Amino acid sequence: DIQLTQSPSSMSASLGDRVSLTCQSSQGIGNYLSWYQHKPGKPPKPMIYYATNLADGVPSRFSGSRSGSDYSLTISSLESEDTAIYYCLQYDEYPLTFGSGTKLEIK
């Protein structure tokens, strides 16, 4: 199975900060990677698909990028509502696999 390693596992940042979360794949997956935001008591919310495409309704301060087997989710200016756990998911091959998540908090 493809392993996705997310870093950091948790972090805190201040409102207005630029924040980048990383997801590294154990093998090549092309751009077949998506990102989800998960808040307690709610289902995951889709954020990014095919590595760089913004899902419907997602604010433009979110963006996705790829450098080789490293994928990033960047928030250009952190807002309080962005507090959540963020997971990456690869869908290049079965079984689809999620990363272990990055917990993002506001300082």
Partner 1 sequence: QVQLKESGPGLVQPSETLSLTCTVSGFSLTSYSVSWVRQPSGKGPEWMGRMWYDGDTAYNSALKSRLSISRDTSKNQVFLKMNSLQTDDTGTYYCTRDQSILRIEELFDYWGQGVMVTVSS
Chain residues that interact with partner 1, rule: CB under 8 A: 1, 31-32, 34, 36, 38, 42-46, 49-50, 53, 55-56, 87, 89, 91, 94-101
Smallest gap from Cβ 27 to partner 1, in A, equals: 16
Smallest gap from Cβ 15 to partner 1, in A, equals: 27
Closest to 75 in 3D by CA, of 62, 64, 85 = 62
State how far the Cα of 60 lies from the Cα of 103, in Å rounded to an integer: 21
State how far the Cα of 19 lies from the Cα of 40, in Å rounded to an integer: 21
Smallest gap from Cβ 32 to partner 1, in A, equals: 7
When the beta carbons of 2 and 15 are compared against partner 1, the nearer one is 2
C-alpha 87, offset from chain centre? 5
